[in-house]
Amino acid sequence: MGHLLRSLLIILVFVLPASAQEDPFFSVDGLNEGLGAPPDNVDRRTPRTALDTFLTAADAGDWRAASHVLDLGDIETGLQARDGEILARQLHSVLDRKAVLDWSRLNQRPDALQVLGGSQQAQAGEPRRSLLIRELNLDPVPAAIRLNRVKPGEDTAPVWIFPRETVADIPALYAAYGPSALEARLPAAMLNDAVWGLMWWELIGLPLLIAASILLAWAIRRLFEKIRRSSDRAVVRGVLHGVRTPAMIAAVTTLFFVASRSIFVFSGQIEIFLTPLIAVGYVTAILMLILNVADALLDNLLAPEEDLDLTEAQYQDARSTATKLNAVKRILTIAVVLIGSGVVLSTADVFRGLGLSILASAGALTLVLGFAAREVLGNIMASLQIALNQSARMGDRVVWKGEVCYVERIHLTFIQLRNWDGTRIIVPVGEFVSETFTNWSIQDPAMLKILKFKFRPETDLDALREAFFEVMEELRQDEKLGGEVGEASEASMNVTGQDVFGIDVWFSVPCRDPNTSWDVACASRERIVKAARKIEGADGKSIFPEAQAAEAA
């Protein structure tokens, strides 16, 4: 009994896969009886020869031979000869204009078996009975142009033809992608091939379209300039100036898009470049719009040394707003670049099959690109980190490697610092966030400037302290710096140490704003030196140590 069960299981293992395997062709009752026997120049044994037969016959104007590559089974037998030629002519027009043929997918085997293939190609090593040539958009669902392998009857060899589903979509495809109304009115001579597979009307129409786009861009530029000059607000003028170029690009791109869909339905040689260029145009316009408008707002509302000085203490909220605006600009820029790259790749036939999957997958190419751009990506993420944690905001006064600067711009990959003398320091964002820096503006802009002096031990400290507080009072009365000196209670004089040369005396000068603290410190130091000289003259004793250069070293 056990031996019998094992035998049955073995039989099932071999029989079930064989029964589940589908035939390498579609069985049909008959094929194009209304066309008669196909002529000798019709070869439909392999997908490559079938498509080559169709294109060769169409180029020669032999539409009867071309119609033999169409499955006309849904058409009445008596109408197949007439309608077949019409459908063949229409399909050839669609293929010529919109289909970029990948002949490597149409091999020279009757079973279309793909010998080579990786783990991602599930049908490698198996015979094929249907091949997708191109998928074109139609309303409401796309239409697939396919070649199917059919067997008309038991005694007939299988052949490759355009199936009934594709034939049924030909009129709609021709209406959407066939010649425009303008092209239909052109004389036959203009429809002949000129050079590079282009027709004469395309060689004439394309330069005219380019000239029209230049004229449109010039008109939009003049319009924006006129509107910009009529405004008396700097921010409006800045935004209009930033929008002008993206508007020109978007308008020219729209002109090409409309012209290529309704006026000039170009052939595949132009369409293969025109479609991705239209996508690039829109992506570029959106990207420039984001960057230009954000920069215009920063330059005219929030930038230092303009109508609003972010370095001033009272504009702490404005510094945060400017930094957040920069963060939004960077996030939108990254999003537009990623999505736009996917759109451009998916619209270009040379990259069909890559498209958005490159950006979404963790494949080898993505890893290679990520490794090559790791420094750039690291800087981008670091700039987003600064924008989110607000450790350094636009307009903040910082000390970077001993240089007193303020943050002028936080770019995508670097930070632009402005030094006290007007020079700019460019720091990669990754380096900036990995180093320790001092931020004078992050919490409370008020600060103490410490002035360090060395005096002789016998110096009258009480007189020196009194002179220091008089200096502070004089500064508060100063017309220029009076408002920059802090509270009197925060001023102090402390003896912090001593050595062989004398005593160390530190004067703590309160400052309200880090941007003017250097000026307050310089003025205080000058007045303290003068006051010390007066004390020295009154006592007749030197209060500053007298040391030789070698001793001081």
For residue 327, give the H/E element and its range: helix 316-347
Q: Which residues pair with 1 in a beta bridge?
A: none
Please tell me the predicted confidence (pLDDT) of residue 215. 94
How much is the pLDDT for 232?
Answer: 79
Residue 504 has phi, psi (to 5 degrees) of -95, 120
Per DSSP, the three-state class of 510 is strand
Residue 251 is predicted with a pLDDT of 92
Return d(Cα 530, Cα 514) in angstroms, integer: 25
Distance CA 477, CA 470 (A): 11
Cβ 521 vs Cβ 452: under 8 Å = no
For 318, other C-beta atoms within 10 Å of its C-beta total 18
Give the three-state DSSP class for 414.
strand
Q: Are 407 and 423 in contact (CB under 8 A)?
A: no
Beta bridge partners, 28, equal 152
pLDDT at 19: 41
Q: Are 443 and 419 in contact (CB under 8 A)?
A: no
Closest CA relative to residue 428, chosen from 380, 389, 372, 392 = 380
Gap between the Cα atoms of 417 and 423, Å rounded: 8
Helix residue spans in 348-453 (DSSP H): 355-360, 364-372, 374-389, 429-434
The amino acid at 53 = T
Locate tokens 């109508």: which residue? 307
pLDDT score at 135: 83
Q: Which amino acid is at 443?
A: Q
What residues contact 365, with CB distance under 8 A and at least 6 apart?
358
Picking from 461, 524, 526, the residue whose alpha carbon sits closest to that of residue 498 is 461
Which among 514, 281, 296, 316 has a CA at the least distance from the CA of 420?
A: 514
Angstrom distance (rounded) from CA 341 to CA 346: 8
Question: 272 and 321 in contact (C-beta within 8 Å)?
Answer: no
CA distance 266 to 277: 14
**For residues 99 and 133, what is the distance between their CA atoms, to the nearest angstrom?**
8
pLDDT given at position 347:
62
Please name which of 408, 432, 410 lies closest in space to residue 420, comparing C-alpha atoms: 408
Closest CA to 299 of 310, 288, 289: 310
Show Cβ contacts of residue 438 under 8 Å, excluding neighbours closer than 6 positions.
398, 399
Maximum CA extent, the chain: 131
Beta carbons of 128 and 112 less than 8 angstroms apart: yes
Nearest Cα to Cα of residue 395 among 416, 421, 423? 416
Sequence-separated (6 or more) residues with CB below 8 Å from residue 386: 323, 392, 410, 415, 429, 432, 433
Specify the amino acid at residue 447.
M
Regions of the chain where pLDDT drops below 50: 12-20, 118-120, 303-308, 350-362, 549-550
Long-range (24+ apart) CB contacts under 8 A made by 59-64 are 63/88, 63/89, 64/35, 64/39
533: number of Cβ within 10 Å: 13
Strands 403-410 and 397-400: antiparallel
Residue 511: strand, helix, or coil: strand
Task: Report yes or no: 342 and 356 within 8 Å, Cβ to Cβ.
Answer: yes
> What's the rounded Cα separation, in Å, for the pair 109 and 158?
12
Q: Are 393 and 407 in contact (CB under 8 A)?
A: yes
pTM score above 0.85: no
Number of residues that this document lists for the chain? 553
Nearest to 271 by CA among 217, 328, 197: 197
- Terminal-to-terminal C-alpha distance of the chain: 107
CB 433 within 8 A of CB 381: no
